[in-house]
């Protein structure tokens, strides 16, 4: 009887430690999920399919709407254009 009680106590301790570890991990995941940073970039592809340049946009984004990001990408592309309109 004493052996079963000791075994039960050990299982309860193991379960308690595992529960605390799970709480810590869930807290870490929630913290990281709320601190997401998006680094938008633009890749220029040549006609042959090779990558010509990769450009990182000048600022990080935290929860802006897609319309705002699209406008910044359009502005950035307008400023970064190097190829003229005559082909």
**What is the Cα 74 distance to its own chain's centre?**
23
Overall average pLDDT of the 4-8 stretch: 91
Q: Check: CB of residue 44 under 8 Å from CB of residue 51.
A: yes
pTM of the model: 0.46
Mean pLDDT of the chain: 80
The pLDDT score that the predictor gives to residue 26 is 97
The pLDDT score that the predictor gives to residue 68 is 75
Domains of the chain, residue spans: 1-35, 41-80
Q: Note the pLDDT tens digit of each residue in 41-64.
A: 777 777 777 777 777 766 666 666
Residue 44, beta-bridge partner list: 53
Residue 82 — pLDDT band, cuts 50, 70, 90? low
Integer-rounded Cα Rg, in Å, for the chain is 27
Q: Check: CB of residue 41 under 8 Å from CB of residue 51.
A: no
């Amino acid at each position: 009887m004493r052996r079963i009680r000791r075994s039960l106590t050990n299982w309860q301790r193991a379960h308690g430690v595992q529960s605390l570890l799970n709480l810590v991990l869930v807290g870490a995941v929630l913290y990281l999920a709320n601190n997401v940073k998006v680094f938008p970039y633009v890749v220029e592809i040549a006609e042959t399919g090779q990558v010509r340049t990769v450009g990182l946009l000048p600022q990080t984004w935290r929860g802006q709407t897609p319309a705002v990001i699209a406008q910044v990408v359009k502005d950035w592309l307008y400023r970064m254009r190097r190829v003229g309109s005559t082909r």
